[in-house]
Amino acid sequence: MAGLCYLLFAGVIVFPIVLIILTVGNCSLILGLWPVHLFYTFYCIWSTKQLGPALKFVISICALVILYLWPFIAIATSIIGGAAYGFLSPVFATFQAVDGRTTNAFYHSIYDGTWDTVKGSLTIVRDFKDVLYHSYFSIMDDWRLQGPSDGKYYEIRVLYIPLALIAVELGLVVDIPMIMLIAACKFPYMLYKGWRRLFHDCIGREGPFLETICVPFAGLAILLWPMAVIAAFFGSILASVPLGAYAGVVVYQECSLWSGLCYIVASLSLYDEYSNDVLDMPEGSCFPRF
């Protein structure tokens, strides 16, 4: 009863306080230092001796996009993180206080879950300030003042950028549908193999069914296994994006479009073999590896 009362107390009192502290504190730091970060980032990019003119131009464009999106992403993350921390931290503190290992559980559930959570939120804001103010300028100063290691600045090969972009496009066009097809073909086998293993452990009281207290969670795993398989399917689709786009990196590094095309086919073979290993299927792949 004490734990239930405290959970209601935490939801009504602690949660909004922590949310306000993290949201207002982090947002103030983000918006207050954003103009300084904008100016100092471009100042360091164009004053460093480690980069060539073309590379500075490309990095400036990328930095502009990142700095434009940074306030929106950081503020949204602060709100979501503050809400999660303000709710979960008191709940976990309550469970730790009433688990029978702590004397005066009601006092500790109130103190540990409220004041410690508030202090933790203030600590998060302080650490975030240290990162934005001290760590950022320290890293940028080191990068700006440090000269090239071998006496030559880094530069990009402009002539190979169009070929790299072509390879990226081909990699995405080929890898995404093919990996989706491979994952769809192995989807039923993964579903069957997982259920077979779980039911085998259930009958033999092995694995997650060994302890009686774990049986409800293991039964829940049987029911939710299709969701895990679906998540793995969509995870494969998401993983195909960087896997295919890496063909552009191969073309740029090897200075050869043919190497990028070979990588596109080889990446399908790598994914096929890796998925076979995960599912304990026969080794090998029907795709060649150049």
Question: Is position 152 within any domain?
Answer: no
Same domain, 171 and 128: no
Q: So what's the pLDDT on residue 254? A: 87
pLDDT band at 113 (very low <50, low <70, confident <90, very high): low
Q: Is residue 266 pLDDT above 80, yes or no?
A: yes
Instruction: Between 95 and 271, name the one with better pLDDT.
Output: 271
Q: In terms of domains, do 170 and 114 share one?
A: no
Structurally, the chain folds into a number of domains equal to 2
Q: Are residues 33 and 136 in the same domain?
A: yes
- 71 in the same domain as 28: yes
Q: Are residues 174 and 251 in the same domain?
A: yes
Supply the pLDDT for residue 211. Answer: 61
- Residue 190 falls inside a structural domain: yes
* 281 has pLDDT over 80: no
- Tokens describing residue 225: 């296994």
Choose between 278 and 289: higher pLDDT. Answer: 278
Answer yes or no: do 163 and 54 share one domain: no
More confident residue, 117 or 168: 168
Q: Residue 49: its pLDDT value, please?
A: 83
Whole-number pLDDT of residue 127: 93
| pLDDT in the model for residue 70 | 92
Residues 164 and 269 in one domain: yes
Final residue belonging to a domain, choices 108, 124, 145: 145
Residues 133 and 21 in one domain: yes
Please say which residue of 145, 169, 204 terminates a domain.
145
What is the pLDDT averaged over residues 264-279?
84
Q: What is the DSSP letter of 210?
A: S
**Can you give the pLDDT at residue 37?**
93
141/8 same-domain check = yes
Q: Find, among 234, 46, 227, 219, the residue nearest to 144 by Cα.
A: 46
| Number of neighbours of residue 212 by Cβ within 10 angstroms | 8
Highest mean pLDDT among 46-60, 62-76, 137-151: 62-76
- Tell me how crowded residue 111 is: count the other CB atoms within 10 A of its CB: 13
* Least confident residue range of 37-41, 48-52, 198-202, 221-225: 198-202
Residue 290 lies in a domain: no
Give me the mean pLDDT over the 143-159 stretch: 77
Average pLDDT over residues 39-59: 88
User: Average pLDDT for residues 133-154, to the nearest whole number?
Assistant: 82
Confidence class for position 30, pLDDT limits 50, 70, 90: very high
Residue 286 located in a structural domain = no
Residues 201 and 125 in one domain: no
Average pLDDT on 4-27 reads 75
Mean pLDDT of 50-54: 84
Which residues are paired to 164 by β-bridges?
none
Mean pLDDT over 99-122 rounds to: 66
Instruction: Report if residue 287 sits inside a domain.
Output: no
Instruction: Evaluate whether residue 197 is within a structural domain.
Output: yes
Instruction: For the chain, give the mean pLDDT.
Output: 80
Identify the band that residue 3 occupies on the pLDDT scale cut at 50, 70 and 90.
Answer: very low
Which residues are CB-neighbours of 129 under 8 A, at least 6 positions away? Answer: 29
The residue from 145, 176, 191 where one domain ends is 145
Residues 108 and 185 in one domain: no
Owning domain of residue 264 = 158-278
* 74 in any annotated domain: yes
Mean pLDDT calculated for residue range 25-52: 90
Are residues 165 and 72 both part of a single domain?
no
**Mean pLDDT, residues 150-161:** 78
In a domain, 289, yes or no: no
Integer Cα distance of 123 and 18 in angstroms? 11
